[in-house]
Amino acid sequence: MTSIGLGDLSQQFQMRTQNMLLKQRLQVTSEQVTTGVAADPARHLNGATAPLATITREIAQINAYGVATAEAASALSFVQTSLDAVNQTANEAVESLLLAGVSPDQTLQTNAAADALNRLDQVISTLNVEFGGRSLFSGAAVDRPALAPASDWFGDIQTAVSGATSVQDVLDTVDAWFDTPGGGFDTLAHLGSDTPASKFFIAEGTAVSGPPSVADPAIKEVLKGLVLGAVLSDDALLSGVEGARDQLAQTAGTSLLGAVDLLTGLQSSIGINEENIASVQAQHQTNLNALEIAHNELIAVDPYEQATLLETTQTQLETLYTITARLSRLNLADYL
C-alpha cells in the first residue's frame, strides 16, 4: 500500500494555492489588458480614492440631471405640440365667425356657432392631454383632467347670457363667468389646481417653469372667444336687437384673433425655456465628457506593463502545470 507523507500533502497544497493565485492574476490582468483600466481602483490608487470618489459623485449627479432635463425637454415639446393644435383650432374658428358677422346669410351664423362649439370641445380634449401618465395643463393636480367637458358647463353660460340686451352685456357676463374668483370657470370648468405645476430642476440651482395651466390668461382667452361664438347657437339670444348677433359674431372672431396672439406669446416664453434646457443639456454633456476622461485617467493602467504581466503570468502558470504534471503524473484534462 502506497502512503502519502505530510510533505507530499504540503507540497500539493502549495501548488494548488499557487495555481489558484496565478489563475486569479491571469483573469485580472486579462481584464485590465482588455479594458485599459484597473480592476481594483482602490488598490491601483494605493487607497487615495478621494479624487475618484468626487468625480464619480459628480458624474452620478450630472446623469441624474440628464434624466431631468430630458424629461423637461420632452414634456415642453409635448406642450408646444398641444398649443400648436389649440392655436390652429382657434384660427380655423376665426374665419367662419368673421364671415358670419358680415354676411346676410343667417345660415352662416348658425353654422359658425355650431363650429365654435365643436372646436371648443376639440380644444378641451387637447388641453386634457397627458404626458407620462400626468395631466399637462392641470397645474399641480397632475392626476386629473384640466377641464370638464363643455357639456358640463356651457349650459350655465347660456343661461347666464340669456337675458342680455346688448353685445356688451354678453361680453361682460362671459368675462365674469371666466374671471371671477370662485365663479363659473373655477367651480364648473376648471378641474385642475390653482397651484402651478412643479418646476423642472435641470441643474444645481437652475430650474425652468413647468407646463402652463388652463387658467393661464392666454388659454382662457381662447376658451372665451370660442364660447362667445358658441352662444350664438341660441337663436333667441339678442334676437330683438338689430344687428347685435352679427356684431357678436364679429366680436367673437376678433376676440379669438387676440387670443391667438396671446397664445403665441405664451409659446414663445415656453420656447425660451426649451432653449435654456438645450443649453444646459449641452453643458452637461461637456462636463460629463471631461469628468469621464479624468475618471479614466485616474484608473488607467499601462497597457505595455499589463501585456508583459499577462505574458509572464501565462508562462508561470504553464511552468507550474508542467511541474505538477511531472510530480503527480496528471494529464492536462485531469489538471484542469
Q: Do 268 and 313 belong together in one domain?
A: no
pLDDT in tens, 240-281: 898 999 999 999 999 999 999 999 999 999 999 999 999 999
Helix extents (H) in 103-192: 106-127, 150-161, 167-179, 184
CB atoms within 10 A of CB 148: 15
pLDDT at residue 120 tops 90: yes
pLDDT in tens, 36-66: 666 667 676 778 789 888 999 999 999 999 9
Of the chain, the percentage scoring pLDDT greater than 70 comes to 79
pLDDT tier at 329, thresholds 50, 70, 90: low
Range of the domain at 317: 303-336
Q: Please state whether the predicted TM-score (pTM) of the whole model is above 0.85.
A: no
Does residue 312 belong to any structural domain of this protein? yes
Distance CA 142, CA 131 (A): 10
Identity of the residue numbered 243: G
pLDDT in tens, 8-31: 556 566 667 766 766 666 666 666
Q: Do 332 and 285 belong together in one domain?
A: no
40 phi and psi angles, rounded to 5 deg: -125, 90
Q: Do 237 and 261 belong together in one domain?
A: yes
Q: Do 180 and 249 belong together in one domain?
A: yes
Q: Do 332 and 226 belong together in one domain?
A: no
5 contact partners, CB below 8 Å, separation of at least 6: none
Q: Do 216 and 272 belong together in one domain?
A: yes
Does residue 254 belong to any structural domain of this protein? yes
Predicted pLDDT of residue 298? 74
Q: What is the CATH number of the domain that holds 162?
A: 1.20.1330.10
**What cell was used for 107?**
345660415
